[in-house]
Structures are given as structure tokens and as C-alpha cells.
Amino acid sequence: MRTLIRPTAFVDSPFGHDGKVAQLAGGLTWFSAVELLSVEGNKRVAAELVPVAEVEQRLDEQTHLQWQALTAKRAPLQLGERTVRLDQPQVMGVLNVTPDSFSDGGRFADADSAATAGADMAAEGAAIIDVGGESTRPGAKPVWEGDETERAVPVIRQLAGGGAAVSIDTRKSEVMTAALAAGARLVNDVSALTFDPRSAEVVAAAGVPVILMHHLGDPETMQDAPRYDDVLVEVYEWLEERIAAAEAAGIDRSMILVDPGFGFGKTVAHNLELMNGLALFHALGCPIVVGASRKRTIGALSGEAPADQRLGGSIAFALKAAEQGAQIVRAHDVFATVQALKVWRGLRDQALTPRV
């Protein structure tokens, strides 16, 4: 039996609530209660709602570490010469240079047009441009690393040369190595460093941040009736194990970000449960990345709307993630997502302005 802590009962501001609220991961969100989740095996067996004012007297050694992680500030990402603050939600622009991505496959005819699109995302407010040369959509087949490198590296070189902060979205160590040499300064691995046994070594040697994403199975089969006893608990504990494995491989914990893997081996119900319980993952002590943009769940909830008609749902998920303290939101529609988060930020700033 173990206990997990999920922040809840979010409030607009801490003013007038001394000792009754806590700041979530050093960001713009404050909460006044937590759920203490009793976990046995792979699932929750009980939940107790506890006010923040009473939490510390309920903590043992294990849950005290979770509490410290929940309330600690997240250091900014240093991506080459670019600093990305994590005390507020940031947008990561999705730039797929593939012929078969679920949303925008085949959109760019060459590296120049892709790099121009990435530069436009940066101009629209994306803090990071995430370049991927292999589709990991449901049913996708693996791509030879030579082809993947040939697709991604010229785009990365142009974007990094223009001053953008660039990440490489790949599962393969050879692609990581080439992308980092071309100027990428962050690795986004949908396999959480499990696909390629050399990938952890490459990341550790480069000293760059890495995103560890939860998945169930591989892209070809991950949506074949995925099952969990309790998706929130199982994803949390799986990420906990992958963080430990990354640290054992020589990657500093301060360089690790986590992604619950929205849509990667999950049903619609699983995805919605993860989004509702997202704040739990702050107890891992790592910045949270959420990639729900244009995902199939949105279509399933809106009359099977195609991928290019899922902007409203993508914004809804981005705001839900921001509300729960997520530090990075991946987005295809950068301008609209940045605008939505600016309005959200304006609401938070007003709430956090002391009243005279």
C-alpha cells in the first residue's frame, strides 16, 4: 500500500489564505486541498480529501518527498543560448517533416518550406519547435534512421541557425546524435528511452534535457484495445520507473521532463481520466509536457471531426493542462494556442494582483 498526492480545489489567488493554500510547482496555480490516494497494486482503493492547512501533519517520509516535489519551483530550461521559463505555461510547436503524420503529413515539400513554417511558429510565440521525422501515429510503421535523419536534420540546422530553440522528436540514438550536432538542444522521446538501448547514453553524454513519454506498446499496435487497472496510477508509476532508469544512466533529474502520453495506447476514457488527474504528475518533481493537440479523442467527442477541424478541442485541452500547472503544451496551431494561453495568463495576473 502506498499513498499518492493529487492537488485539487484550485483557487484564484493566495491573498487572504495564509497557510491554507500552496503554490503548484512554482507556477501560476494555487490549490487549497489535496486528494490522498491510497494505492494497492495498480489501482486506487480509497481517496481522502484533505485541506492544505492539514496536509503536513498527515505526511510520512514518502509522501513528504512528494509534497516537496509538488511545491518546488521548476528551473528554467537552458536550450543553447535560449532560456525557457517554466514558471508559466509555454507552447511547443509541432513540426512534422513526415509524409504520413496523422495531422499534417506531407505538408512540406522540402526542408526550406518546413524551416519557414517552424520560424513562423517561433514568431507566433512558440518557445520551442519540436521537429519530427518519423510518424508515431497509431498504426505507423518504423522508419529507417537514415531516412528520419535526412528529413529532420536540414530543418533543425536552419531553425537553430536562425536562433530558434529546437527539440528533436525521435526514438533513435543515431537520429538524436545527428540532430544534436545540427543544433537541437532537447530530446523528445515517445518511448521514454526504451526503444533504442543507446539513447540514454547519447542524452547523458550531451547533457541536454529529455522528455520521457508514457506509451503502451508500439505505434503499430498501441491502440489495439489498451487496458489498465487504473490508468492514472499506472502511468504515474511507469514514469516514476523511467525517471529512475534515466538517472541511473547518468541523466540528471533536473534535465528530465515527463509526458503522460495522451493517445499513446489509451482509449478516449483513459485520455480524459489522465487530463482530469494531470496535477498528480507534479509529485514526480519534473516539468510536465502535454501533447493533446488535434488528437483522436477530440474527434471522438465531436462527431468524428477530422484532424484539421479540432482546434476548439485542442484549445480546451491546452487550457485544462495550464489550469493544472502543466509547463509545456505541444500544439499544431501555435498562434491560437499562444493567444488562448495569453488570455489565461491575463486572468491569472489579474487574480494575483493584490487589491489595495
Catalogue the active-site residues: 295, 330
Residue 8 exposed, middle or buried by CB count within 10 Å (0-12, 13-18, 19+): middle
Q: How many CB atoms lie within 10 A of CB 248?
A: 10
Task: Identify residue 122 by its one-letter amino acid code.
Answer: A
| DSSP three-state, residue 329 | strand
Which of 25, 33, 35, 69 is CA-nearest to residue 52? Answer: 33
List Cα–Cα distances, 16 to 19, 21, 219, 318, 355, in angstroms.
9, 10, 49, 29, 11
Our CA angle for 213, 218, 219, nearest 5°, is: 90
The grid cell for 191 is: 518511448
Residue 208's contacts (CB-CB under 8 Å, 6 or more residues apart) are: 79, 180, 184, 185, 186, 187, 255
Give the span between the Cα atoms of 51 and 63, in whole angstroms: 15
- Cα–Cα distance, 235 to 42 (Å, whole number): 10
Which residue in 134, 119, 280, 255 sits closest to 200, CA to CA? 255
Check: CB of residue 292 under 8 Å from CB of residue 91: no
Helix (H, G, I), strand (E, B) or coil at 46: strand
